[in-house]
Amino acid sequence: MNLIFFGPPGGGKGTQARLLAARREFPQISTGDILRETIAAGTALGHEARRYMDAGDLVPDAVMIGLIAERLDQPDARGGFTLDGFPRTLHQAQALERLLASMERAIDRAVEFRIDEETVMRRLSGRRVCRAGGHIYHVEFAPPQREGICDHDGSPLRQRDDDQPEVIRRRMEVYRREIPSVLEFYRVRGLLVALDAAGDEETVYARLEEALAAA
């Protein structure tokens, strides 16, 4: 199956895409990973993408689509994939549809992960990461034994910049502004399913499998 996941930052879609990849053997294709990988591989498109990023600019849609085309053509993605983080705008959704048509492929399901924003805010703003080993804690749901100190290596815990409440609010605003038109694009094509994304990851995964089985 060819899938796209949508959801607010911290809504758990990345976790679900990884679970699905591990259990159904089709890869999670996240635009962040593609950018990191192609830049590391030093391809022509990778160099081009890097020029924009080094200048602090967004990578243009045409470049992003080129990178996605290269990724979808790799053997592991031919039997199916989950796109995560793309498309974010209507223009990108249209470009993706044209790309897939040119490859004689199509999206089978667009899954919207729905979760209320206060839940996301609590989840993300309570997260703490250790400086030494990247161990992850949560002040409320998974606290370390000693406040502010990693249980594994005793190093201090910190909050990632991305998890600061102002940053989360800004990312949510961008999501709320852009995503309705993208969801509508898939809804009119009969491809959109909405999923309750509250709860632990196995509960949400069971809902996801159910939604895909009904597809």
The first and second tokens of residue 9, run together, are 């930052």
Stretch that binds Zn ion, among 20-28, 82-90, 141-149, 153-161 (CB under 5 A): 153-161
Q: What is the DSSP letter of 11?
A: S
- DSSP bridge partners of 136: 129
Measured distance CA(26)–CA(176) in Å, rounded: 29
Q: State whether the Cα torsion 128-147-119-170 is positive or negative.
A: negative
**By CB under 5 A, is residue 135 in contact with Zn ion?**
yes
Comparing CB distances to Zn ion, the nearer of 79 and 133 is 133
Q: How far is the CB of 163 from Zn ion (least distance, A)?
A: 17
**By CB under 5 A, is residue 133 in contact with Zn ion?**
yes
Comparing CB distances to Zn ion, the nearer of 112 and 163 is 163
**By CB under 5 A, is residue 150 in contact with Zn ion?**
yes
Q: How far is the CB of 162 from Zn ion (least distance, A)?
A: 19
Asked whether the bond before 87 is cis by omega within 30 degrees of 0, the reply is yes
**By CB under 5 A, is residue 158 in contact with Zn ion?**
no
The first and second tokens of residue 178, run together, are 């852009």
Q: Specify whether the CB–CB gap between 109 and 215 falls below 8 A.
A: yes
**By CB under 5 A, is residue 152 in contact with Zn ion?**
yes
Q: Specify whether the CB–CB gap between 49 and 35 falls below 8 A.
A: yes
Q: How far is the CB of 165 from Zn ion (least distance, A)?
A: 24
**By CB under 5 A, is residue 153 in contact with Zn ion?**
yes
Stretch that binds Zn ion, among 20-28, 54-62, 70-78, 145-153 (CB under 5 A): 145-153
Q: Specify whether the CB–CB gap between 86 and 3 falls below 8 A.
A: no
Q: How far is the CB of 158 from Zn ion (least distance, A)?
A: 11
Q: Which of 79, 6, 73 is nearest to 38 (CA)?
A: 73
Comparing CB distances to Zn ion, the nearer of 50 and 138 is 138
Mask for 102-131, x = binds Zn ion (CB under 5 A): ----------------------------x-
Helices (H), 42-157: 44-54, 61-72, 90-102, 117-125
Which residues make up the interface to Zn ion (CB under 5 A)? 130, 133, 135, 150, 152-153
